[in-house]
Amino acid sequence: MTFTALLFLSFGGPNEPADVRPFLENVTRGRGVPPERLDEVVEHYLHFGGVSPLNRLNLEMIASLQAELRSRGRDLPIYFGNRNWAPYVTEAITELRDDGHQRALVFPTSAWGGYSGCRQYHEDIARGRTEIGAADGGPPLLRKLPQYWDQPGFTTAAVGAVRRAMVELGEGTPIRLVFTAHSIPVAADATAGPPGEGGHLYSRQVAAASQRVAAELGVDHHDLVWQSRSGPPQVPWLEPDICDHLEALAEQGVGRVVVCPIGFISDHLEVIWDLDSEARDLAERLGIAYARADTVGTDPAFVAMIADLVEQYLDPSTELRPDGAGDLEALGCGDNGILCRPDCCQLPARPTQRR
């Protein structure tokens, strides 16, 4: 039996100012985020009217993907669900089931391995199916698509975005290319990936994706930095931070910088606040000419990549093709919330608060 629908599964974001605090409480529940940090992020959202761009951008991506699939003769309905805000994943799965779909693919809006980047999406799927329960025939089979950071379409879209940003800066002194991704606790990165494979899957993947883009651009030297840390100050997170790095570049005499948010496929609030506000303002004060590359979002190359990935998994007969198309063993792929590897990408124990 083939798959008859696609669930587009994302992070979620507030749609109005009244949503902001409850949304952030959903995101940070149990994570030990200091109240003052939460207050600070609330102000970031309110600075932009209390609305995240993410839901709108996801809907635009869904529309682009729907058009791409239809151009290939695939009239596949796409349902939209989120982890942290409406429409919630359980609502999307319920709608999908009520429309008569027994098998659906799941596209997560994270390209990466790790707990937050991959395992938590499996948990979202499992939780949604459990909350539906056995009524009305039970939940559909849901197959999460694999990690896709290394797909050519992802690289092509990022290369195009960086080229446009470089053009924005025009002619002049050499441009320093800086890649950013969402920072995570060092301990979480250490447990990212299948047990016994050395961990650090998330940071290794981000570094490899950055290297691919730089190589396509013919850039010999680039930097990888991190952004948007939110945990308690005593917990080490991946460093350096983008703003600290800009200060270091200024001290080195670097005069022009292009920042590529390789770790995000759409403009989360973290992108438009951390990069388009804080980092841009700091660069101006430091005398650095600054341009931020687009996220891959609705770039035709990236949308075509999603469509390719979906088509590989649409028909179960492709699961064991020699070229690996539809391979159930691919990292991140799994049915009904079952992990791709036992104990993969475990969340480390949270440290106790210092008093």
pLDDT at 350: 66
User: Is 352's pLDDT higher than 50?
Assistant: no
Residues 6+ away with beta carbon under 8 Å from 72: 307, 311
State the average pLDDT over residues 208-219: 98
Report the predicted TM-score, pTM, of the whole model to 2 decimal places.
0.93
Q: Which pLDDT does position 148 carry in this prediction?
A: 98
- For the cut 90, the answer to whether the pLDDT of residue 188 exceeds it is yes
Report CA dihedral (258, 259, 262, 267) to the nearest 10 degrees: -120
Tokens coding 257: 């910088």
Quick one: angle between helices 152-169 and 300-314, nearest 10?
A: 170
Instruction: Read off φ and ψ for residue 317, nearest 5 degrees.
Output: -65, -15
**Chain position carrying tokens 């299948």:** 194
Q: Rounded mean pLDDT of the chain?
A: 93
Tell me the CB-side half-sphere exposure of residue 340, using CA atoms within 13 A.
Answer: 23
Question: Is the per-residue pLDDT at 320 higher than 50?
Answer: no
pLDDT at residue 35, rounded to an integer: 79
Residue 351 clears pLDDT 70, i.e. is over it = no
Q: Alpha-carbon distance 102 to 141, whole Å?
A: 6
